[in-house]
Chain A
């Protein structure tokens, strides 16, 4: 079983200049290792939609890799996105699912079906390739080759659950961060700073 910290470290080691879309517990650990905050989006305030945002980014910037650090509970809420991604088949999308079998943010309640094998589901939907890792060494040694291959790829990582006792950080500040990150990413990807204020947080 792999820890969140190790998984995020290993992914970041092979990141290159990829965009990283994160959600839930992964965001916390990703922010500790990422050296490219302008290429990061933490999908707070919109649970389950990381895979769909990542698809849009991948289709919109086909010359840049997009990593989606998704989770099992989130993907179950947006399971159809597996078929949508497979249908569009973006070669630059790497869909990484952190599978701990629980809703960690809310204290560790089990997801409806903790035994779902997301790599198999993605394979059945038509992803170009799929992988499943439950030990750190295999993930570390194999990931660089996977991220050099054509997507869409789904990489399922069996992680040790870390149930939180204090609940999700859903404050005005955390929700307000996402619009700012999105604007910073658009500026980085397009070279233009033309997305001005709008909405309640900005």
Chain B
């Protein structure tokens, strides 16, 4: 089971540290509170999309224009975005960190949710490196994802394995991010 919580502000601190300019997203149940917290971060522009398959092409355009985007979509949406991942991320060598909501993550217990069942096999099949983040304790994996994407010119996934906490005072037991 997961210990601790995941605070959006700690993830946002990582995005700011890595000079992220745009957060291209379709909100999902895991990341809903991230959206609210990001609205208070002036250095990052939120780009809401209508369908997950738009997120990677929008990010590709932003990157070509000299910006530094990330995307945030749910695992079920990643499956919908498969052709965009193929053609406009893997195919062009796009260094892109993709935050993927791990809906139905089975470490919370037995799950009938196939959205969770297929996420890691899907990422393996597409040869996408990934890191699972389940609480603030795991946030040192985020800079590794940014470094890996930049080094390899390939997309790298950060699977968000829990729902973001709503506020900073909701029982966090972690020591936060290592700076």
Q: How far is the CA of A21 from the CA of B59 in the complex (A)?
A: 15
The size of the chain A interface, using a CB distance under 8 A, is 40
A-B contact pairs, 9 of them (CB 8 A): A53-B64, A53-B88, A56-B64, A56-B67, A59-B62, A59-B65, A60-B65, A192-B66, A198-B94
Q: How far is the CA of A63 from the CA of B139 in the complex (A)?
A: 36
The verdict on A55 contacting B64 (CB below 8 Å), with A46-B88, A49-B87, A199-B154 known, is no
Residues of A within 8 A of B (CB): 21, 41, 45-47, 49, 52-61, 78, 80-81, 83-84, 87-88, 175, 178-179, 182, 185-186, 189-190, 192, 195-202
> Which residue, B24, B61, B94, B152, has most C-beta atoms of chain A within 10 A?
B61
Interface residues in B41-88 by Cβ distance below 8 A to A read 45, 47-51, 53-54, 57-67, 69, 83-84, 87-88
Evaluate contact between B49 and A56: CB separation under 8 angstroms.
no
B16: Cβ under 8 A from any A Cβ:
no
The answer to whether A179 touches B22, judged by C-beta atoms less than 8 angstroms apart, is: no
Q: In the complex, A117→B163 CA distance in Å?
A: 41
List residues of chain A with CB within 8 A of the CB of B59.
56
Known: A182-B92, A198-B95. A46 touches B84 (CB 8 A): yes
| B64 contacts A186, C-beta separation under 8 Å | yes
Residues from chain B with a CB closer than 8 A to the CB of A196 are 153
Which label, helix, strand, loop or mixed, suits the secondary structure of the B interface? Answer: mixed
Greatest chain B CB density within 10 A among A59, A87, A202 is at A59
In the complex formed, the residue of A with least CB distance to B95 is A198
Knowing A60-B66, A197-B153, A200-B90, the reply to whether A182 touches B60 (Cβ < 8 A) is yes
Complex Cα distance, B77 from A30, in Å, reads 33
Q: How far is the CB of B71 from chain A (nearest CB, A)?
A: 11
Q: Which listed residue (B51, B64, B65, B92) contacts A201, Cβ 8 A?
A: B92
Q: Does B109 contact A (CB under 8 A)?
A: no
The 10 A-B residue pairs with the shortest CB-CB distance in the complex, in nearest-first order: A56-B61, A198-B153, A198-B93, A60-B65, A80-B50, A46-B87, A52-B57, A199-B93, A190-B66, A49-B57
Within 8 A of A (CB), among B80-118: 83-84, 87-88, 90-95
**CA separation between A52 and B63, bound complex, in Å?**
13
A158 to chain B, nearest CB (A): 26
Contact indicator A195/B153 (Cβ below 8 Å): yes
Q: Are B88 and A60 in contact (CB under 8 A)?
A: no
Closest residue of chain B to A199, judged by CB?
Answer: B93
Are A55's CB and B92's CB within 8 A? no
Q: Which of A52, A195, A196 has the most CB of B within 10 A?
A: A52
Q: Which of B49, B54, B87, B153 has the most CB of A within 10 A?
A: B54
Bitwise interface map of B from 117 to 147 toward A, beta carbon under 8 Å scored 1, else 0? 0000000000000000000000000000000
Provide the residues of chain A in CB contact with B51, threshold 8 Å: 78, 80
Q: Contact flags (1/0) for B10-47 with A, using CB distance below 8 Å?
A: 00000000000010100000000000000000000101
